[in-house]
Every structure is written in C-alpha cells, then in structure tokens.
C-alpha cells in the first residue's frame, strides 16, 4: 500500500503532494513501482495535527481518487475518519476505507461502512491524534491492542460489515511510546494475525525508527522502514503501508525468493 498524502502537514511528506497534478503523478508513479493499493488521505493524523473540515478534505481527496481511477486499475483506499468523506471517495472510485479510529469517530461510521460494502481497515489508536502521544500507557500492549481490534471487528460485523471485508491495523505510533510500546507490538504481530483477519502494517518512517538511530529525521528512515516491513511479512501481515514503494517491493521480493529457495 503506497501512501499518498494530499495534505499540508503530514509528518513525512506534508505539502509535497497538495498540488493535484503532483499528487496524481506520485500516485501513478507508486502504482508503476508495484503498489497494489494507494491510500489517499486529505487530513494528517500525525501527533498534534490540526483537524480539517470535511468539505476541505473532500475537495482534496475526491478529485484525486477520480483522476487515479481514470488512469489506473490500482486499488484505491481513502484514509479518513469521516463517514461523509468515505462516502464521497467511494462514489469517486475508492473500494477501501482506512479509518484510524476503527469506525468510532462518528455515530454513523459503522452503518456507513456497512452500507458502502467496501473493505474497511480498523486501526488501533489510544486517544486521538491531537493528544495521543502525551502519556500512552499499557499493561500489555499486544494483548490490549489485540482485544481492541477483535472487539471492533465484532462491532463492525454486528453492524452489517461482511467479515471478509474487514482488515486490522495495530496502529504503530498511534498512542504508543516510540520504543516501549511499538517494538513489543511489532514483535507480537503474529498475535494480531492470529485473530484471523488480514493485517495491514503501517510503520514506514515512524518516529521509533529515528529513536533507534540517533534521532534520524523522517526522510532518513528507509532502512528501518524496510526492516519493519520484513518483520511484518515474517509475521504474516497481508500488506505494508509505505512511503517508499519501489525499495520495499524490492526488499519483499528478495525476502520471498530467499524463503522459497
């Protein structure tokens, strides 16, 4: 899954693809580099991010989704917590809703997901983007994340979302201490996979990588991002959400070839 942020303030590439032409070119580039899914977002969910009104988010996302759909057959995902944005994006050609709130943001989120009939990614986040990194706490991060995701999957199915449409995401970096929580969660990914749903891992360029490498900036975390992607593959995740598609595809191809040999 290639990350396509049509935002001004995303932690790694904020502002680079706010221009529609630049965003379209980047999306097509990632599809050509081997992305199976493009995750289009119009609102940053980095720690301390400023919320974006729904109409502005729709204006950023929908034309881009429509343009990509007209030019490529790649699967399109909308990265949003707002049901109205998801509805507009699906109408424009998206077939997946990636929600960092696991369909908890709005009273009609669950019903909207059921009505749309699209694939849905339920992500774990302790708190909300503005304050989630203030003081995250867990007694057993893997057990608590797994229990949360299992409960949200049950809630989605109870609302009418088909089981085969549900994906899970442990939410690396969302309400988790850089190393004290993220590393055990990555080490315990097999317990999330064991829940029986496809798992999406989003660890690309996250701050825990910088914390392990002398506070390396976001654009200097490729090696760590690939290491996390390979750890996810070894644990059985179905997809990795990344900024650097070509390099990650290459790494996964070599890793797979070695495993098959």
Q: Express each pLDDT in 60-93 by its tens digit.
A: 999 999 999 999 999 999 999 999 999 999 999 9
Decide: 171 and 125 in contact? Cβ < 8 Å.
yes
Q: Which two tokens stand for residue 180?
A: 């004290």
Kindly report the CATH number assigned to the domain that includes residue 209: 3.20.20.20
Its pTM stands at 0.93
Listed residue (194, 190, 197, 195) closest to 232, CA to CA = 190
Q: Give residue-wise pLDDT tens across range 221-257.
A: 999 999 999 999 999 999 999 999 999 999 999 999 9
221 flagged as catalytic: no
Instruction: Report CA 83 to chain centroid distance, whole Å.
Output: 17
Nearest to 205 by CA among 10, 6, 18: 10
- pLDDT value at 49 more than 90: no
Range of the domain at 72: 2-260
Please count the structural domains in the chain: 1
| 64 sits in which H/E element | helix 54-71
Measured CA to CA, the distance from residue 201 to residue 231 in angstroms comes to: 10
Class of residue 120 by CB neighbours under 10 A (exposed 0-12, middle 13-18, buried 19+): buried
pLDDT digits (tens, 9 = 90+) for 127-153: 787 777 778 899 999 999 999 999 999
CB of 210 within 8 A of CB of 168?
A: no
152 catalytic per annotation? no
Catalytic pick among 60, 152, 206, 207: 206
Closest CA to 57 of 100, 98, 7, 22: 7
């Amino acid at each position: 899954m290639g990350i396509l942020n049509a935002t001004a303030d995303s932690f790694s590439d904020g502002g680079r693809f706010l221009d529609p032409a630049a965003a379209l070119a980047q999306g097509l580039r990632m599809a050509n580099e081997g992305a199976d899914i493009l995750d289009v977002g119009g609102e940053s969910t980095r720690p301390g991010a400023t919320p974006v009104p729904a109409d502005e988010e729709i204006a950023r996302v929908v034309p881009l989704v429509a343009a990509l759909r007209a030019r490529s057959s790649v699967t399109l995902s909308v990265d949003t917590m707002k049901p109205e944005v998801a509805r507009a994006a699906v109408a424009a050609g998206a077939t997946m809703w990636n929600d960092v709130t696991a369909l908890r943001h709005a009273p009609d989120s669950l019903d909207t997901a059921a009505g749309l009939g699209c694939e849905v990614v339920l992500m774990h986040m302790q708190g909300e983007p503005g304050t989630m990194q203030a003081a995250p706490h867990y007694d057993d991060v893997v057990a608590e994340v797994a229990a949360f995701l299992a409960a949200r999957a049950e809630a989605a199915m109870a609302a009418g979302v088909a089981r085969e449409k549900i994906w899970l995401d442990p939410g690396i970096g969302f309400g988790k201490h850089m190393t004290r929580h993220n590393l055990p969660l990555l080490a315990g990914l097999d317990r999330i996979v064991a829940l029986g749903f496809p798992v999406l891992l989003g660890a690309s360029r996250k701050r825990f990588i910088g914390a392990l490498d002398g506070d390396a900036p976001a654009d200097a975390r490729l090696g760590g991002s690939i290491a996390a992607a390979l750890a996810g593959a070894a644990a059985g995740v179905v997809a990795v959400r990344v900024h650097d598609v070509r390099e990650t595809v290459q790494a996964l191809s070599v890793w797979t070839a070695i495993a098959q040999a």
